[in-house]
Chains A and B, each alone.
Chain A
Amino acid sequence: MTSRTARSLCAAAVTAGVAISGAACGGSSSSSGAATSKNAAATGTLNVWIRGSGDSPKAYQKIFDAFTAQTGIKVSIGKATLTDFETALTAAASAHQLPDMVVDDAAQMGDFVSQGIVLPIDKTTFTGADQLTDQAWTSATDLKGQVYAVPFSAQANVLLIRKDWLDKLGLQAPKTWDDMAKVAQAFTTQDPDGDGKPDTYGLAVPGSTSRGYTSWFWSSFLYSAGGDFLKPGGGKFTATLNTPQAVSSAQFLEDQVCKNKDVQPSALGDDTTATNKAFQTGVAGMYLTGPYAYATMDATAVKGKYIVVAPPTGPDGTAGTLAEGTDIFTMADSKQDEVTKLEEFMVSPDAQKLGMTAIPSATVVRLPVNKTVDPAAVHGNDPRWQLAQQVYSTSGHYEYDNAPNWTQLRQKMSDDLNKLLSSCGDVQSALNSMNSDVSSLLKQQGVG
């Protein structure tokens, strides 16, 4: 090879390297949604981004159509996706091309606030503010008491369990952790589907680190053990992940994965989509998840074969489970007056009912945040919704959505917990380490 050729190839390599870095740092590029935002500004149409897929955008469209009919203000869904939604939003923020309004998980609030991309909500002038539950408003309030989102939907985890499998093995739905472990063991070892193969498991677990799922799933056990992630006070947080309650809940989960081997074999790499599939296809017989799963499950062969019960209580009888919300965020640079009108409409009883029933396969309002709406009645006295409402009200615990970056904390806990479950190691030392990791991150976020 000549010196000139080598130099040429080297130059080509530099170009290729530049391409790599360009791909890696390409977050600053604008998205198609950003272009939509520009158009929206030109036409006066509100540009809304929604974290949702499948039939969800159709359900939102029904609500927006009703709003447009009432006010004349047009609404356009600029982006609706589950995958990398926040990444697209960050890219749009980098290009200063944010949509007018975003509907996303409540857990994103702290992050949005710390990025400065959402505007505060004035509850005193917000029409219908007093109709929303205090529990929902609290989840949209930061540490200093400033409200940064309008709650739109709520939910709490319940236990879906295969009734046909219980009946075949002569078992009752579990009420405590001990019951749950026994049922899980029976589902794993006693061939509940009767096909003569040991191909069933007790628990469906989304144990992937993606979006912090491991921690997300663990939280219901943590709450029912009487534990919590953090302790707030004086505008700061203290990590409480190495308490006896936290240890007992992580130990219970580790026992199911490592000792009893009662979870689906791919659990530690499964996100919620894969875990849904494990329950839908008869791989696992119990699944702790939100009531939004009713529509998902009812669209598959498992419809009619499962029942819904309250999550099992912890060792000392505590009833606790993860509560979550979907919030509406007013984005910086938005047409704020029109957005506020849309938000006020979206939490009205009529819109909340539309969100629950307009598209049966997509209940975008899971549990209503408007206390004048009865979810069971709206769903034709379906007892599953009544139970979800009861569990949410009596034992639902929100995560710390008001931390400056809760998703970062949840991701770290998920990584650490996934390591523990993968290595089947010592729980106390793993949680000591997790507590230390979370304490460091809290300090970095300025609230430790």
Chain B
Amino acid sequence: MTARRIRIGPWLYLAPLLLFIGVFKVWPTVWGVYLSFFHVRPYLGNQYVGTANYSKLFSDPDLRSAVVHTLLDAAFAVSGSIFVGFWLAVLLQGPARHVRILRTAVFLPTVIAMVAAAELWTTLLYPSPYGSVNSLLGKVGLGPEPFFNSPHSALASVILMQIWKNAPYDMVIFVAGLASVDREMYEACQIDGAGWWQRLRFVTLPALRPITTIVLVLGIIRGLRVFTDIWVSTNGGPAGSSESVVTFLYRQFSQNNDTGYAAAIGTALLVVTMALTCLMLLWRRRAER
């Protein structure tokens, strides 16, 4: 009896959350996978189309282009955020009060809603000589740059905005990681005559490997599902130059009313995200053996 109670107890505690996840996450996902095999017409009856929606995935040039943009966005925004977040953490680690104030100030972009942040950056990057950033560029003889308004610079501008927004989030995780590094290792290094760079390379970075993996996994998931940042700042344009997989998916659902195709794209994105994440975790496990 006692053993049974011990087994059931934790599940009872978890039950509300599991129920919530089941209803609002798992069930819509299963339903989305089911709909991906249909031409969806709620009031006329859904038509089974087999794998037609999936075949369309591979022959749609607009989706192909969105996939490329998403991969570029994920690669640069994630690596940029990790790089900036790491150096912010290194610069702002420690318990001193003024450092805590600075860390809070640096963290602020993360708590701003993405819609508000995108509106802010749209204003800052207004593509005339009188836009805030262009006005500064003008003072040093550069610009005006079109930023969000040119197919050549829209995606890069969105990536920069994402780094600004996400780097502080990564910083917080790195700060936590840095606090857990054994101080004695640093002292031992110092006694051996290791300089600042050697300490960073041979103590800090290896100690941060598990944390870096978490930041990377979270970043990849965030990067592959990028939506609000693009939808609000560029709407996927100009000329589709910043269209991501999820903005494309949303367009199919909301503007073209092709729910089945949108569901197929969502399912494919789910599979790719899971595969990439698992591959990366396996790679980390092997690297750490």
Interface set of A (CB-CB < 8 Å, partner B): 1, 3, 6, 9-10, 13-29, 84, 86-87, 90, 93-94, 96, 111, 114-117, 197-199, 207-212, 265-269, 271, 332, 405, 407-408, 411, 415, 418-419, 421-423
Contacts A27-B259, A422-B150 given; 4 further ones with Cβ under 8 A? A17-B274, A86-B257, A418-B238, A418-B240
Residue of A nearest to B214 (CB): A9
With beta carbons under 8 angstroms apart, the residue of B28, B31, B250, B256 that contacts A411 is B256
- Chain A residue numbers with a CB within 8 Å of B151 are 419, 422-423
- Chain B residue numbers with a CB within 8 Å of A212 are 255
**B24 close to A265 (CB less than 8 A):** no
Cα separation A199 to B129 with both chains bound (whole Å): 8
Question: With A1-B285, A116-B41 in contact, is A199–B35 under 8 Å at CB?
Answer: no
- Chain B residue numbers with a CB within 8 Å of A25 are 28-29, 31-32, 35, 262-263, 266-267
Question: With A18-B26, A116-B41 in contact, is A422–B130 under 8 Å at CB?
Answer: no
Contact sample, A vs B, 18 pairs, CB 8 Å cutoff: A13-B281, A15-B25, A18-B26, A20-B221, A21-B32, A24-B225, A24-B270, A28-B32, A87-B254, A90-B254, A96-B42, A115-B43, A116-B44, A207-B238, A212-B255, A265-B149, A418-B239, A422-B150
Cα separation A423 to B240 with both chains bound (whole Å): 11
A-B contact count (CB 8 A): 198
Stretch from B81-89, B166-174, B181-189, B229-237 at the A interface: B229-237
At the interface, yes or no: B121 with Cβ under 8 Å from chain A?
no
Question: With A6-B281, A28-B35 in contact, is A22–B146 under 8 Å at CB?
Answer: no
Cα separation A9 to B224 with both chains bound (whole Å): 18
B 20-49 binary contact with A (CB < 8 Å = 1; else 0)? 010011101101110100001111100000
Residue of A nearest to B128 (CB): A265
At the interface, yes or no: B126 with Cβ under 8 Å from chain A?
yes
**B253 close to A19 (CB less than 8 A):** no
B: number of interface residues (CB 8 Å): 69
- Chain A residue numbers with a CB within 8 Å of B266 are 20-21, 24-25
- Chain A residue numbers with a CB within 8 Å of B43 are 93, 96, 115-117, 332
Could you tell me the distance in whole angstroms from the C-beta of B216 to the nearest C-beta in chain A?
A: 11
Residue of A nearest to B45 (CB): A116
**B259 close to A94 (CB less than 8 A):** yes
- Chain A residue numbers with a CB within 8 Å of B44 are 115-116
- Chain A residue numbers with a CB within 8 Å of B53 are none
Interface set of B (CB-CB < 8 Å, partner A): 21, 24-26, 28-29, 31-33, 35, 40-44, 62, 122, 126-130, 144, 146, 148-151, 154, 210, 213, 217, 221, 224-225, 234-241, 246, 249-251, 253-257, 259, 262-263, 265-267, 269-270, 273-274, 277-278, 281-282, 284-285, 288
Residue of A nearest to B27 (CB): A22
**A24 close to B249 (CB less than 8 A):** yes
Could you tell me the distance in whole angstroms from the C-beta of B155 to the nearest C-beta in chain A?
A: 13
Cα separation A22 to B267 with both chains bound (whole Å): 9
- Chain A residue numbers with a CB within 8 Å of B282 are 6, 10
Could you tell me the distance in whole angstroms from the C-beta of B52 to the nearest C-beta in chain A?
A: 12
**B285 close to A18 (CB less than 8 A):** no
Cα separation A418 to B239 with both chains bound (whole Å): 5
Residue of B nearest to A85 (CB): B254
With beta carbons under 8 angstroms apart, the residue of B42, B144, B217, B241 that contacts A94 is B42
Chain B interface, DSSP helix/strand/loop, else mixed: helix
**A20 close to B273 (CB less than 8 A):** yes
Q: Report which residue of A6, A17, A117, A210 has the largest number of chain B beta carbons within 10 angstroms of its beta carbon.
A: A17
**A26 close to B28 (CB less than 8 A):** yes
Could you tell me the distance in whole angstroms from the C-beta of A286 to the nearest C-beta in chain B?
A: 17
**A269 close to B274 (CB less than 8 A):** no
**B285 close to A14 (CB less than 8 A):** no
Cα separation A90 to B252 with both chains bound (whole Å): 12
Residue of A nearest to B272 (CB): A17
**B221 close to A199 (CB less than 8 A):** no
**A269 close to B238 (CB less than 8 A):** yes
Question: With A20-B270, A411-B255 in contact, is A1–B31 under 8 Å at CB?
Answer: no
**B257 close to A269 (CB less than 8 A):** no
- Chain A residue numbers with a CB within 8 Å of B235 are 208-210, 269, 271
Cα separation A422 to B243 with both chains bound (whole Å): 15
**B254 close to A24 (CB less than 8 A):** no
Residue of A nearest to B134 (CB): A265
**A266 close to B237 (CB less than 8 A):** no
**B238 close to A21 (CB less than 8 A):** no
Cα separation A111 to B282 with both chains bound (whole Å): 47
Question: With A1-B284, A9-B281, A10-B281 in contact, is A20–B269 under 8 Å at CB?
Answer: yes
Could you tell me the distance in whole angstroms from the C-beta of B97 to the nearest C-beta in chain A?
A: 35
- Chain B residue numbers with a CB within 8 Å of A6 are 281-282, 284-285
- Chain B residue numbers with a CB within 8 Å of A211 are 255
- Chain B residue numbers with a CB within 8 Å of A19 are 25
Cα separation A211 to B35 with both chains bound (whole Å): 25
Question: With A96-B42, A265-B146 in contact, is A209–B281 under 8 Å at CB?
Answer: no
Could you tell me the distance in whole angstroms from the C-beta of B264 to the nearest C-beta in chain A?
A: 10
